[in-house]
Amino acid sequence: MAASQLQTSMFLGSRQAQKVRQHRQRAVPISTSAARQVLPFNVGISRSLVSASAASTLQEQSVILEKEDSSIPRSSSIEIRTLRNCKLGIAMYPDFVYNADGGGGYGTSEKLSDGKFAVKFDTDELHIPAVEGKTTTFLGLPLPPFLCIQVVPKSLEGLIDRSTGKVELNFCADFLFSVGSLYKAPPLVVNALLTTETAAGRLRSGHGQRLNSEGKCKLVGVAPLVPIEDVFMNAFLTLPTDCLAIMEAQFVFH
């Protein structure tokens, strides 16, 4: 009886050991070569799939960015409005206090690659009120009704940086001095860089103010005035000299 129980125990132990060995064999990782034989496709294709998926995602993102960028208008119209509290200073004379409210005009603006806007105004449509008794005071008193300085714009163009508020415009105009019908001087050419920064000449200087949230700013410019073919005007204005222009303005992008 004891011998029979011993044999049974040995048989069961052998079967259990055999199961453990089979379990370990099944747990051994399959080799790469074996996997290639068993699987119907190459295991290495997964990397290609990942690379292709990443490239496709980047391409889709690029297309989206291009669409978003194209939705931003590269060119549009712009309006300038001249406001009150402007000034005009010539030589060392006290400044004319000038109300240019109601003046202005339209132009074109184009967004550049650096984010700035290149603007150019149509001088045929650009109106700047005349310096006369209705708009201007000198030493606190209105100008005599017969004295007039007409401003005839020739060009107004430059750059506007809406992110910083900085404005720089090249301004060219003819100033036409007249005293009624008795006297009309030859055109006095004014070339100045109107800026929201600081402008300085030989005699005059001024400080501007950058664009605010409403598009308003103070533009300043100093133009060198050269003698013209008029002895009286040359002596009266002490040419050559400086001309200081201070313009309160507002820019509106349409």
* Buried-exposed string 58-83: b where 16+ CB fall within 10 A, e elsewhere: eeeeeeeeeeeeeeeeeeeebbbbbb
Let me know whether 15 and 49 are in one domain. Answer: yes
Let me know whether 238 and 143 are in one domain. Answer: yes
Let me know whether 164 and 191 are in one domain. Answer: yes
Among candidate residues 70, 100, 115, the one where a domain is terminated: 70
Provide, rounded to the nearest whole percent, the portion of the chain with pLDDT above 90.
70
For the record, the structure tokens of 132 come out as 């006369």
Let me know whether 82 and 12 are in one domain. Answer: no
Q: What is the mean pLDDT of the chain?
A: 82
Let me know whether 25 and 115 are in one domain. Answer: no
Let me know whether 49 and 158 are in one domain. Answer: no
Let me know whether 217 and 104 are in one domain. Answer: yes
Let me know whether 52 and 127 are in one domain. Answer: no
Let me know whether 148 and 80 are in one domain. Answer: yes
Task: Give 110's strand partners.
Answer: 75, 118
- For residue range 40-60, list pLDDT tens digits in order: 445 454 555 445 555 555 455
Count structural domains, the chain. 2
**In contact, 82 and 242? CB cutoff 8 Å:** no
Let me know whether 40 and 80 are in one domain. Answer: no
Give Cβ neighbours of residue 144 (< 8 Å, ≥ 6 apart): 133
Q: Tell me the CA distances in angstroms from 150 to 18, 108, 127, one per residue in order.
A: 113, 25, 10
- For residue range 137-150, list pLDDT tens digits in order: 999 999 998 999 99
For residue 159, the model assigns a pLDDT of: 98
Among candidate residues 12, 39, 70, the one where a domain is terminated: 70
Residue 136 pLDDT > 80: yes
* Buried-exposed string 120-156: b where 16+ CB fall within 10 A, e elsewhere: bbebeebebbbbbbebbebeeeebeeebbbbbebeeb
Instruction: Considering only residues 71 and 110, tell me which one the structure prediction assigns the higher pLDDT.
Output: 110
Residue 76 pLDDT > 80: yes
Let me know whether 209 and 178 are in one domain. Answer: yes
From first CA to last CA, the distance across the chain in angstroms is 110
**Boundaries of domain holding 34:** 2-70
- For residue range 147-199, list pLDDT tens digits in order: 999 999 999 999 999 999 999 999 999 999 999 999 999 999 999 999 999 99
Place of tokens 């019908």: 181
**In contact, 208 and 218? CB cutoff 8 Å:** yes
Among candidate residues 70, 87, 113, the one where a domain is terminated: 70
Let me know whether 98 and 143 are in one domain. Answer: yes
**Single-letter amino acid, residue 34:** A
Residue 129 pLDDT > 50: yes
